[in-house]
Chain A
């Protein structure tokens, strides 16, 4: 009897530890904003390049930046371009920003009895998130939505509880259109929210809004689409109400594309243009400029080239907008900076 026990324990032990170490492993962490397309990319990339396995953990843009800073991941991902302060933390190498896709952050909601798309003015949105507008049938919301039966119910505001680039894009936009927001709260991956419940990741916010009646949250477009949740259109700087989709998000980047700065760090919220969606953003992969391990370096370069060419074809299906051509050209040149 004892021999059987020992034998099976040994077999279990062998099986447990034998299975490891298959492919070359790259570790990455960061934003949940582009997580759906990144997951798809890494799976597809693994199918065409079986020896390269990228483990991407969507822990939020703040997490991506943090883990890159302490060196526990090979590269990071963020929807917020790194600040000067964050960049100065790196002594051994520079951090290169590589835009990957364009996306839009939408105000998604779950309101009893409302199936139509709502129109939000910048002031209404700021008012809701500042906690000044507390009921759905408030005049400032109802004014733009005459045909809709808005209930006399409390608005449950949902925001991110983790360090999020999506939060940065959202608060960056709110800071631009509301001086009150700018002074009281500001723009960052993590802010002191005046009101609301917190949830983890874009998926956490989508989940909470989906489960909570009369709530509103902000998520990347694909999350609202996948969950079949209603999302509103925003009034842009030209005065038109636009809903986020490939066209309007691409239009938001049009102005920035031709004169994008050399390090690709740019904000395109509240972009000019009649058809521009005001809460759009690039999202970046953060790659170290010096990578010691030669095989890791080559793997990352291979992936980046693949991403900028083949990978871009996957964008539309997941409701992200592909990068403008001029940007892709400049990025392909930046790959050579990785030593």
Chain B
């Protein structure tokens, strides 16, 4: 039997004429898909270029000090990104502080402790949570989480921990903590599903070796499996962070829209995504608009970095031949 043709080494076509190759269709097909692939590349470059171009006015006006100016005053045309960077980081941090323990815990349960059938069902349900649109989370948050925060959680925190600066002051229902909570719920699915994948890709021998040495299920999991998957779990955290940073609708509906930096989590705040959503169509004045776009550019750059880190970590663990 003749050796099967391989794909990597194309047959010698140098002898055929150009027209014959064209009629053969391969060159045309190659060209077509190349064009579309190039389109993707060009669109992305166009995106970055547009962001850069339309934010030029404020970049020239404020320079790098834009990043640490905390005044946002459309009346005097002075704009600074600090309150929004602060709000974005704080809400995402609160979200992660809540979502990571719960999410990793659930991932561990689903990959190690639960019987496979129910594990698949639960994972499926969790992944459906990822499909729920942001605006619906916002809708629910306004009518359930905000009153809960105002009437129950806020006063409870004030009473027990009100001496801490992060829980000082009255609770309006809307605020940074509320936004962090709803972000945490939106982040669960990503942490759970990716961490679970990372845990499942740990070789069986690890678990069996630990169990053979007399470890309990938990000890085998915690001491032998989880460390192996830690880079993947870390990657899932970074990925969720990147998503939380860019979340717009749910946050803008519950954060209180206040461009100031408050120490207390119970106070209102603002994130980059929320202020753009609120003020974009009404930014009277080119500097105002340009500053909002520059905020978008800042957010874009932050998410690129974090997404990049996440990808490195996830690839490092789930790729072949990973090191310990």
Q: What residues of chain A have their CB less than 8 Å away from a CB belonging to chain B?
A: 29, 59-63, 65-67, 69, 86, 154, 156, 161-163, 185-193, 196-200, 208, 211-213, 215
Contact = CB atoms under 8 A, between A and B. Distances in A.
A224 B122 CA distance: 47
Closest 7 CB pairs of A and B: A198-B257, A63-B282, A62-B282, A163-B282, A161-B257, A190-B74, A192-B73
Contact of A197 (B72, B258, B278, B279): B258
Interface string B140-157: 000000110010000000
A30 to B, nearest CB: 9
B284 interface: yes
Contacts of A154: 170
A163 B174 contact: no
Interface in B2-41: none
Interface in B69-109: 71-76
Contacts of B76: 186, 192
Chain B CB within 10 Å, residue with most, of A62, A186, A188, A189: A62
Interface string B44-86: 0000000000000000000000000001111110000000000
B219 to A, nearest CB: 49
B73 A163 contact: no
Interface residues of B, number: 26
A90 B66 CA distance: 29
Nearest to B268: A197
B75 A188 contact: yes
Contacts of A188: 74-75
A243 to B, nearest CB: 28
B75 A192 contact: yes
A18 B174 CA distance: 43
Contacts of B257: 161, 197-200
A186 B76 CA distance: 9
A191 B73 contact: yes
Interface string B277-289: 0110111100001
Interface in B156-202: 170, 172-174
Nearest to A188: B75
B281 A66 contact: yes
Contacts of B170: 154, 156
B281 A59 contact: yes
A189 B172 CA distance: 25
Contacts of B73: 191-192
Contacts of B72: 192
A67 B282 CA distance: 8
B256 interface: yes
Nearest to A59: B281
B191 to A, nearest CB: 31
Contact of B284 (A62, A197, A208): A62
B147 A190 contact: no
A62 B172 contact: no
A210 to B, nearest CB: 12
Contacts of A192: 71-76
B275 to A, nearest CB: 8
Contact of B278 (A61, A66, A162, A215): A162
Nearest to B150: A212
A78 B312 CA distance: 51
B282 A60 contact: yes
Contacts of A200: 257, 278
Contacts of A213: 150
Nearest to B283: A66
B269 to A, nearest CB: 10
B282 A211 contact: no
Interface in B227-283: 256-259, 268, 270, 278-279, 281-283
Contact of A66 (B172, B259, B270, B284): B284
A196 B281 contact: no
A67 B281 contact: yes
Contacts of B281: 29, 59, 63, 66-67
A84 B166 CA distance: 45
B172 A197 contact: yes
A156 B270 CA distance: 17
Nearest to B143: A211
A157 to B, nearest CB: 10
A162 B174 contact: no
B9 to A, nearest CB: 38
A62 B285 CA distance: 10
Nearest to B74: A190
A185 B76 CA distance: 9
Given A162-B279, A211-B147, A198 B258 contact: yes
B146 A211 contact: yes
A161 B71 CA distance: 15
A185 B75 contact: yes
A199 B268 CA distance: 11
A139 B102 CA distance: 49
Chain A CB within 10 Å, residue with most, of B174, B259, B281: B281
Contacts of A61: 282
A154 B154 CA distance: 15
B278 A161 contact: yes
A189 B284 contact: yes
Given A60-B282, A191-B75, A192-B74, 8 more contacts: A63-B281, A63-B282, A162-B279, A189-B74, A190-B282, A191-B74, A199-B257, A200-B278
A227 B174 CA distance: 20
